[in-house]
Chain A
Amino acid sequence: MAPDSAILDVQGVTAGYGGSAVLQDLGLSVRSGTMTGVIGPNGAGKSTLLKVIVGYLRPSQGEILLDGVAVTGLPPEQRIAKGIAYIAQTRSHFPSQTVQENLRLGAYLVKDARLRAERQNAVFERFPILHERRRQLAGQLSGGEARMLEVGRMMMTAPRLAILDEPSVGLSPKLVDVVYGHVRSLCDQGMSFLIVEQNVRKLLSVADFIYALEGGRNRYDGTPHDLSEDGRLAELYLGARG
């Protein structure tokens, strides 16, 4: 497979809850080593899309391909084993366990103790505050620290594709910058990202490629630059014709 090929392909996915389709014939792909963003107004189906990709929700139609191989029927933990990682919008950690235990659980599938130690060191090197607080309960961390713990937990599996649902939620603008700084640097180290955001300006400023959804369907895709032009955002979010 070519080096710039797609690590993730979502093909013609239709999915929803209890009969009503939230996603309709949706498609997207994430090229290896890039940061791909998904935007769209409320109810566009962004979080549902991520749930389908991670495997929490089965699509009624369509396929999810990881490295060109269909994973549509697999449960989440088997997709994690294949190199996907996922951080949910809120509280994607275990508050009543310590920071270190959270990281250990993140490496649940990693049987090699040396590999675990290496990765934990990498996490602590990136987030010294987590090292300082390693014996504290995760529930005692601040919002920003908890987010870092979640990124750390994700790093423990050394995923090739990280899927983030609104990493900026509940964080101050300064912390949003910090979090995205780490995301960018992990991406530069070769981790691919698929990120859903409501903080559209932020995502447009960091992502390599953007998909815009509306009403569960593809609306636009292109570089952040393309999307910022011609009042496309105003059309997407406010219905204005540019």
Chain B
Amino acid sequence: MTAPTGDTSPADPLLRIAGVSKRFGGIVAVDDISIDVARHRLTGLIGPNGAGKTTLFDLISGVSSPNSGEVLFEGRPIQGMQSHAVARLGIGRTFQSVRVFNEMTVRENLEVADRNGKHRGSQGFADRMGGALAFVNMTPHQGALAGRLSYGQRKLIEIAMVLIQDPKLIMLDEPVAGVNPKLIEQIGELLTELVRQRRTLLLVEHNIPFVTSLCDHIIVMANGKLLAQGDGEQVQRDPRVLEAFLGT
């Protein structure tokens, strides 16, 4: 795993990031990153604070556009596209801070999400909602105000809001941050099940043990650069990875 993109690189990745850089003033937040996200896999993106993970997420999902490099989704360049257009291509994303509408019911939240998804609120919403809620075990809470739910439950609703859009690539920004150990386990099972259903997942997460135990492929960033990639064990054994997290 010395070569950043070596033999692990799949022939036909769902998402390919090629030489992407993003600068904010004098700071290079993402520095010439090239990575592939393989289809039907769970890929984890980790790194110490300030590594540039969330910036990279923003570049993929159209929240911001790179200064250089290409983002290819199914072989098609999407860098610089608006986030709603990226969403309609089939990239769904959650955010670090929970973004559900607290004053709306769970059902209304899902309606909003559905309208922004590829179905655009067409017929069959009830079925889609039923499926998404059942998947995250939140069916009984359909009528509840989202603000009344616990933090963990809102995280689940957020996942359901992404699922109802039926994206090809699901991007999760810290899905288990601030979540209790029992729910962490449950979310882990949900993500594994999604991969089994042939979805592609990319997640940023600070809980490294969660990532190393769950992900098929792990990408490690530090200071905006690609530090290492490989499976959980490879990453755990790489001394550079540990040192990066120990802040040296």
Against B, the Cβ 8 Å flags (1 = close, 0 = not) of A23-52 are: 000000000000000000111000000000
Known: A41-B207, A237-B208, A240-B212. A201 touches B178 (CB 8 A): no
Q: How far is the CB of B84 from chain A (nearest CB, A)?
A: 31
Across the interface, do A238 and B247 meet the contact criterion of CB distance under 8 Å? Answer: no
CB distance from B240 to the nearest CB of A (A): 12
Question: Which residue of A has the minimal Cβ distance to B209?
Answer: A239
The reply to whether B207 and A238 form a contact with Cβ atoms under 8 Å apart is no
Distance in Å: Cβ of B46 to nearest Cβ of chain A: 9
Q: Which residue of A lies closest to B237 (CB)?
A: A240
Instruction: Answer yes or no: A197 CB below 8 A from chain B CBs.
Output: yes
A side interface size, CB within 8 A:
20
Interface size range on B against A = 20 to 34
- Contact partner of B242 (CB less than 8 A), chosen from A42, A168, A202, A237, is A237
1/0 contact trace for A63-90 toward B, CB 8 Å?
Answer: 0000000000000000000000000000
Asked if A215 is at the interface of the complex by the 8 Å CB criterion, the answer is: yes
Which DSSP category, helix, strand, loop or mixed, fits chain B's interface? Answer: helix
Q: Is there a chain B Cβ closer than 8 Å to A142's Cβ?
A: no
Q: Which of A19, A22, A202, A240 is B247 in contact with, Cβ under 8 Å?
A: A202
Instruction: Please state if B212 and A42 are interface contacts (CB–CB under 8 Å).
Output: no
CB atoms of A43 and B177 under 8 A apart: yes
Is the beta-carbon distance between B242 and A234 smaller than 8 angstroms?
yes
A200 in the interface, Cβ–Cβ < 8 Å?
Answer: yes
CB contact list, A221-242 vs B, under 8 A: 233-234, 237-240
The one of B150, B210, B248 that contacts A201, using a Cβ cutoff of 8 Å: B248
The residue on A at minimum CB distance from B210 is A239
List the B side residues contacting A22 at CB < 8 Å: 178
Please state if B247 and A200 are interface contacts (CB–CB under 8 Å): yes
Complex CA–CA separation, A104 to B39 (angstroms): 62
Answer whether residue B49 sits at the interface, using C-beta atoms and an 8 A cutoff: yes
Indicate with 1 or 0, residue by residue over A7-31, a CB within 8 angstroms of chain B CB atoms.
Answer: 0000000000001101000000000
What distance in Å separates the Cβ of B238 from its nearest Cβ neighbour in chain A?
9
A12–chain B nearest beta-carbon distance, Å: 18
Among A19, A20, A233, which residue has its beta carbon within 8 angstroms of that of B246?
Answer: A233
Closest to B174 in A: A43
B178 & A20 in contact (Cβ 8 Å cutoff): yes
**Is B141 at the interface (CB under 8 A from chain A)?**
no
Chain B residue numbers with a CB within 8 Å of A198 are 48-49, 247
- Report if A41-B245 is in contact (Cβ < 8 Å); known contacts: A198-B48, A238-B236, A239-B208: yes
Q: How far is the CA of A94 from the CA of B245 in the complex (A)?
A: 31
Contacts of A19 in B (CB 8 A): 150-151
What are some 8 contacts across the A-B interface (CB < 8 A)?
A19-B150, A19-B151, A41-B207, A168-B247, A198-B247, A239-B209, A239-B212, A239-B232
Besides A200-B247, A234-B242, A238-B212, 16 new A-B residue pairs in contact (Cβ under 8 A), listed by A number: A20-B178, A41-B207, A43-B177, A43-B207, A197-B247, A198-B247, A199-B248, A200-B245, A201-B248, A202-B248, A234-B236, A237-B208, A238-B208, A240-B212, A240-B233, A240-B237
Per CB-CB distance, the 3 closest pairs between chain A and chain B, nearest first, are A239-B209, A240-B236, A199-B247
